A and B are shown apart, each in its own frame.
Chain A
Amino acid sequence: MSNSTSNMPSTTQRLPPQSHQTAYVLPLFLRRLMTNRLAVISLIGVILLILIAAFGPMVYTASPITPDYKAINQSPSAEHWLGTDNLGRDTLARLIYGLRVSLIVAFYVELLNISLGATLGLLAGYFGGLLDVIVTRIADILFAFPGLLLAILVAATFGPAVTEQFGGIGRLLLVTGSLSLVSWPLMARLVRSQTLSIKEQEFVTAARSLGATDSRIMLTYILPNVAGIILVSSTLDIASVVVNEAVLSLLGLGIQPPDPSIGKMITDATPFLDANPLQVLFPSLALMLIVLSVSFLGDGLRDATDPQSLM
């Protein structure tokens, strides 16, 4: 019901179609998201994590890398808010930088997923034919590698040379690239199947009979309808990307020491579990916080963008 009333003005005021989409659908979907308490809390959590990663080092100035051998495995104190690790490095500072790494990797992986996976999926679904065959085949082949296997292979083989040539930034990009190698096929597949069903609908036929070009149909008629799926699946995918980055780093294939990564922090502190369990607890909690808030936000977005739950 609320849907029909909110769409009403667009017909009476004769707004152009584009402003119809931005002015009415977007607030509706945001309004629906705001009614989901868990999603709102998660959204606040995600924003907070981003703020901490961006501005944390300005407020909390301890070095994440310099060891202090006089302060090893300390408990939380005024000087070291979350204590220190087995080399006397400040845990909170390392966590903030580790969070930065996680979020940057997640951001770039999703950027690649959307620009490569979603675009290829849209084009393949819309045009079909040879392009579709090629995209689907490549996705199938990449799917044949179970789990993180392909990412492990690529990160392992190119890792040392990339680090020698480009240092830490290069390594970060390699981790990003190898992780998106295992996640873009899924995005392409999702967008493709959604495009396949949308392009058969009447409004697309109507647009085509009015003389709309392929690019116009894709951008103004199909894209808004797959945007929800892209948004939801890339949000949910962030959770697995964060965990996968941690796995690569703890296997020694991701972020290289002494640069902090949350996954490496957990496993590095595990041997000192008896002396200082907090050093395992804090990064584990941080990781679970990211994963849970992103997952709940993704679920909330799915409910908010799902047209079937509009009724």
Chain B
Amino acid sequence: MTRVILRRLFSLPFVILSITIITFLVGYLAPGDPILSMMGSRRDPVTYERLRHLYGLDLPWYEQYVDYASGLLQGDLGLSYRYQGRPVWDLIGNGVFVSVQLGLAALILSLAIGIPVGLWSAIRQNSLWDRAGMTTMLTLYAVPSFVLIPILRWINYQFYIHGLPSLPQAGWGRPEHWVMPVFVLSAASMGYIARLTRVSMLEVLKQDYLRTARAKGLRNRRIRWNHAFRNALIPVVTVVSPSIAFLVTGTFVVETLFSIPGIGYLSVQSIAQRDYPVIQSTTVLLAVAVLLMNLVTDLLYMLLDPRIRVEA
């Protein structure tokens, strides 16, 4: 097992290196001269050269990459094109914080609802509850967030015009701003987790050792919670990785549509202003964050499942 972990840890820097290379290349190959568009109509050769030097664009591409990569290592994401000389981190630093809050809340919500719904559906297999629960979860999984948002807003609006308590349509800051975005963001992974938990629990409930436990005369409750539940949860750990991938794309949509000043919203706005270093930094940050989280879940999975530990 240590070998597997070591191999994973060893390959991690190379994957991160490739991520930065690709991100750098996309930015490098981007057509157009950023300095010229930055200067607009006020063109003078001296300032042009000075800015080119400030942004390191007068260097050959490999030196630009080395600068970029060593900057990243020190937590320096580079300079914004839109706001001359301002570090990208100034622009998106707060956004990172907001997005992390939003993403964690969504992940926790999807686990907190997805797992119990999946477990109950498995225990009451083919009951009305099972069918209703799984249909709802399948819908949440299949309906894209940008379709879910108008539906929720319409319901919210009906509450509003009938004088019932309603939520703000968009914005960020107060706790009631969280409800709709977090729910929408968690919807897809919630459905996914619920369905997987159900399958995994059904699989465990069929096992011989549960029949043994029942034959021993153990109570249903004890069988379910002590014997079945814990084993059923192991595969669920693996879903966390794909769920995080859902969250990343979802972040862009949800933040943009709810005007939440997170990293997704800020980088979409910066695209409109052709401030490419921002979207580049966002890409690197998100990709590396997801990579690390995947590593953690994989290690957790190995830790939880003795079979994998032995095979490895």
Contact = CB atoms under 8 A, between A and B. Distances in A.
11 contacts: A141-B19, A144-B15, A144-B287, A146-B249, A250-B146, A250-B253, A251-B253, A270-B150, A274-B157, A277-B150, A291-B144
Nearest to B246: A147
Contacts of B287: 144-146, 149
Given A161-B32, A251-B256, A273-B157, A145 B144 contact: no
A284 B286 contact: no
Nearest to B250: A147
A243 B151 CA distance: 17
Contact of B146 (A150, A247, A277): A247
B120 to A, nearest CB: 26
Contact of B286 (A146, A246, A291): A146
A135 B218 CA distance: 53
B245 to A, nearest CB: 4
Interface of B: 15, 18-19, 22-23, 26-27, 29-32, 142-144, 146-147, 149-151, 153-154, 157, 161, 244-246, 248-250, 252-253, 256-257, 267-268, 271-272, 274, 276, 279-280, 283, 286-287, 290-291
Contact of A140 (B15, B32, B253, B271): B15
Contact of B149 (A149, A159, A270, A288): A270
B30 A161 contact: yes
Contacts of B256: 250-251
A149 B249 contact: yes
Contact of A141 (B22, B26, B154, B286): B22
A295 B138 CA distance: 13
B26 A154 contact: yes
Given A157-B30, A273-B157, 5 more contacts: A153-B23, A156-B271, A157-B26, A161-B31, A270-B149
A222 to B, nearest CB: 30
A39 B194 CA distance: 26
Contacts of B150: 266, 269-270, 273, 277, 280, 284
Interface of A: 140-141, 144-150, 152-154, 156-162, 165, 243, 246-247, 250-253, 263, 266-267, 269-270, 273-274, 277, 280, 284, 287-288, 291-292, 295
A287 B143 CA distance: 10
A147 B150 CA distance: 23
B81 to A, nearest CB: 12
A295 B144 CA distance: 14
A263 B22 contact: no
Contacts of A154: 26
B48 to A, nearest CB: 20
A247 B253 contact: yes
Nearest to B148: A284
Ordered nearest first, which 8 A-B pairs have the shortest CB separation? Answer: A147-B249, A161-B31, A146-B245, A146-B290, A141-B18, A156-B271, A146-B248, A280-B150
Contacts of B23: 153
B258 to A, nearest CB: 11
Contacts of A252: 268, 271-272
A287 B30 contact: no
A270 B245 contact: no
Contacts of A145: 19, 22, 283, 287
Contacts of B252: 148, 152, 247, 251
Nearest to A295: B142
Given A152-B252, A277-B154, A157 B279 contact: yes
A269 B149 CA distance: 12
Contacts of B280: 153, 157
Given A250-B146, A288-B147, A291-B142, A148 B271 contact: no
A145 B149 CA distance: 25
Nearest to B158: A274
Contacts of A292: 142
**Most A-side CB within 10 Å, residue of B15, B27, B144, B149:** B144
A158 B161 CA distance: 44
A263 B150 CA distance: 12
